[in-house]
Structure 1
Amino acid sequence: MNLDFSQIVPSIPFILKGIGATLQFVSVSIIVGLVLGTILALMKITNKKWLKWPADIYTSIFRGTPLILQLIIIHFGIPQLFEYDIPVFMSAVLAFGLNSAAYVSEIIRAGIMAVDKGQIEAAEALGIGYRPMMFNIILPQAWKNILPAMMNEFITLTKESALVSTIGYMDIMRRAEIVGAQIYRNLEPLLFAGLIYWVMIFILTNIGSWVERRMRQSD
């Protein structure tokens, strides 16, 4: 096979710097998605239609369109509409955070619905308000049920983070592409980037499995 990894050895530190850049925007995105997704989930389970409908429409839009389309619209559309040159990092966080929120909201909603209705009835009988009941009683119980799905969402975001290379964000994928253009050999740096992603996902998967086991033992 016509493979020569020795040519990318001098560029390995350059590619590895993309790990920090990738984890940085993915971590911020998952926080945005978690906060917004929780709000959307609470809007979906309410009986007030003026809260439920916007949340359902939001979820439908962001789950029904490709993430890369959302990324490009945010990065190139905002400057056109508002004459504001949005930074690449902010574009990545907005696109991934808003997209993740749609999926997280469904995960949290399902987790809340899985909690025994007797818990809600008991809280209402004790005169506990909706907000403290939800945040102090229901959500902590739902969290145990949704943790595996949340970890899977974080892993999915990490894998899909390679899409930000299309808008010039200096992540692992973008750096591998730059190295390939410099040495006129694309396969080797791309295979190396693939190895990095695999190691990252392997570590995250094992962390998720460990946390899940600990939570089961605590029950």
Structure 2
Amino acid sequence: MRIQKKITGFMVLLLFFFSFVGSLVPSAHASDAKKTYVIGTDTTFAPFEFQDVNGDFVGIDIDLMKAIAKDQGFEVTIKSLGFNAALQALQSGNVDGVIAGMSITDERKQTFDFSDPYFDAGPTMGIKADNNTIKSYEDLRGKRVAVKTGTEGATFAASIKDKYGFTIATFDDSTQLVDDVKAGGSVAYFEDYPVLAYGVAQGNGMKTVTDKEAGGSYGFAVNKGKNQELLQMFNKGLANLKANGEYQKIRDKYLDETASAPKTKWEVITSSMPAFLKGMGWTLYYTIVSLFFAFIIGLIFGSMKVSHNKFLRGIATVFVDIFRGIPLLLLVSFVYFAIPQAFGFTMQVWLASIIALSLNAGAYVTEIIRGGIQSIDKGQMEAARSLGVPYGTAMRKIILPQAIKVMVPSFINQMVITLKDTSIMSVIGLVELMQSGKLVVARTYDTFTVYLVLAIMYLIVITILTKIADRLERRVSRG
């Protein structure tokens, strides 16, 4: 009974901690001299949204949003999430609006309210620069083309695929379209013409062979019936910027068709290294924090799994089955998008990431602790109990010291797994090493160099941590 009360107390304390930490996060909606709005975007969509060499978010959409905020007297906080994630974050209430080269369509108007159009877009087709066989849509018959989810290019490709007899592969990032064509998975890709033209100007190895098709317009979006004040301020600010010439300056700044000199691979590495190192620092931070809570969770549920109480064992078993059985990608999406939308509150990206990582790792740590304890001969506990040693003391003084030696290799393995799992958090816009790499690729289109550097950095850090852990294991084994 005492153990059950302690476990219950630990669980209540853990729940209180997460609630308390969440309450410490400054709300972007809090009243201030200038109201602050959180705006979701996709910073892999140059020239509308991307990250420059200094790590700042720039582009037509970003500059336009900031200029309108200045004109209308409010503040904005930009969240880099990716296009699909930004829309889900808007629906769940984690952001107030989305500006991400988002086409205004009748279907989307059922869910979102749009501003006045701020850019007239249209799709076009791109192929490899050395491809001389694809000259028109007719040449796509029997082949595969790449498109990005939710874009004008994807809509147009879907409308003509049956006529011209090609298949479609769908991706989440614009740079993935180029990578797929380079790798030979697709022979062409459809993208909004300013994005495609910008990539060509940056030396991404692509070219265009067709004219721009007629397309829709981009608009700023808020949830239907929500944040109407923000929407009105956007429209007023946009009208003012068009009247004073600032809007045209922003367009001209990023749509200059003069090709940029492609950077060498060494220049890509050196200019991006500060962002990579910062990303690695955050990766280590989220790993350590998540493992700390995972260990607490694992200790609680691991103790419950070896308890003589069937009810406690049942709770622990359900916990392990749920959080070990749900894919981490689905878990973090559920925590960040679904739960806030269902219960009407907002959640910070870092908090959602730590919760998802902690629960996932905690399920595995529970089994590590359970396995370690049960690996010790039951006779030792029986002997201790027969000598009058209390259960808790016997567990703490006799069983656990031996079990820890068995657990250490598995703990080391879980540490490495959790560090690598932080890369999955990039899907909700958490800035760690993988997300830092994605942002650099969006700017440079040098996928091979960037991802090779990231792989080496992961390998170096994991090797160092493994060596340190191996030494610790040897010391524990000798102890």
CA drift at 1:34: 0.8
The Cα of 1:18 is off from its aligned counterpart by: 0.9
Q: How many angstroms does 1:132 deviate by?
A: 2.8
2:130 equivalent to 1:130: no
Match of 2:304 in 1: 43
Displaced runs of 4+ in structure 1, greater than 4 A?
none
Tell me whether 1:24 sits opposite 2:285 in the alignment.
Answer: yes
1:60-81 Cα deviation digits (max 9, x unpaired): 1111121111111111122112
**Deviation string for 1:10-55 (max 9, x for gaps)?**
1211111011111111111111111111111111112211111111
Specify the alignment match of 2:472 in structure 1. 211
Does the 8 Å contact 1:180/1:187 carry over to 2? no
Q: Which amino acid aligns with 1:139?
A: L
* Greater per-residue helix proportion: 1
Give the distance between the partners of 1:138 and 1:144, measured in 2 at CA.
Answer: 11
Q: Kindly provide the CA deviation profile for residues 98-156 of structure 1, in whole angstroms up to 9, marking residues without a partner as x.
A: 01111111111111011122321232123232223223332222101110111110011
Residue 79 (1) aligns with residue 79 (2): no
Q: Distance in 1 between matches of 2:469 and 2:289?
A: 18
* Amino acid of the structure 2 residue aligned with 1:211: L
Amino acid at match of 2:355: L
In structure 1, how many angstroms separate the alpha carbons of the residues matched to 2:347 and 2:397?
Answer: 38
2:454 pairs, out of 193, 196, 209, with: 193
Taking the aligned partners of 1:5 and 1:18, their CA distance within structure 2 comes to 19
C-alpha distance in structure 2 between counterparts of 1:163 and 1:5, whole Å = 27
2:375 to 114, 124, 131: 114
Q: What is the number of residues matched between the two proteins? A: 217
Question: In structure 1, what residue type is equivalent to 2:367?
Answer: E
Looking at structure 2, the residues matched to 126 and 18 of structure 1 have their Cα atoms a distance apart, in angstroms, of: 55
SS in 2 for 1:148: helix
Counterpart position of 2:421: 160
Is the partner of 1:127 in helix, strand or coil?
A: coil
Q: 1:53 aligns with which of 306, 309, 314?
A: 314
* Residue aligning to 1:96: 357
1:193 maps to amino acid = L
Whichever residue aligns with residue 130 of structure 1, its letter is: Y
Partner SS for 2:347: coil
SS in 2 for 1:86: coil
Tell me the equivalent position of 1:146: 407
Name the structure where strand makes up a greater proportion of residues: 2
Secondary structure of 2:398 counterpart? helix
Mapped to 2, the partners of 1:84 and 1:164 lie a distance apart of 20
Please report how far the alpha carbon of residue 88 of structure 1 lies from its aligned counterpart in structure 2 after TM superposition: 1.1
Q: Assess, with a 3 A threshold, how the Cα gap between structure 1 residues 129 and 141 changes in structure 2: closer, same or farther.
A: same
Maintained 8 Å contact 1:8/1:179: no
What do you get for the CA RMSD once the two structures are aligned?
Answer: 1.6
Q: Distance in 2 between matches of 1:213 and 1:137?
A: 20
Q: Is the 8 Å Cα contact of residues 33 and 98 (structure 1) preserved in structure 2?
A: yes
Contact 1:78 1:86 in 2 (8 A): no
CA distance, structure 2, for counterparts of residue 117 and residue 52 of structure 1: 18
**What is the distance in 2 between the residues matched to 1:148 and 1:171?**
26
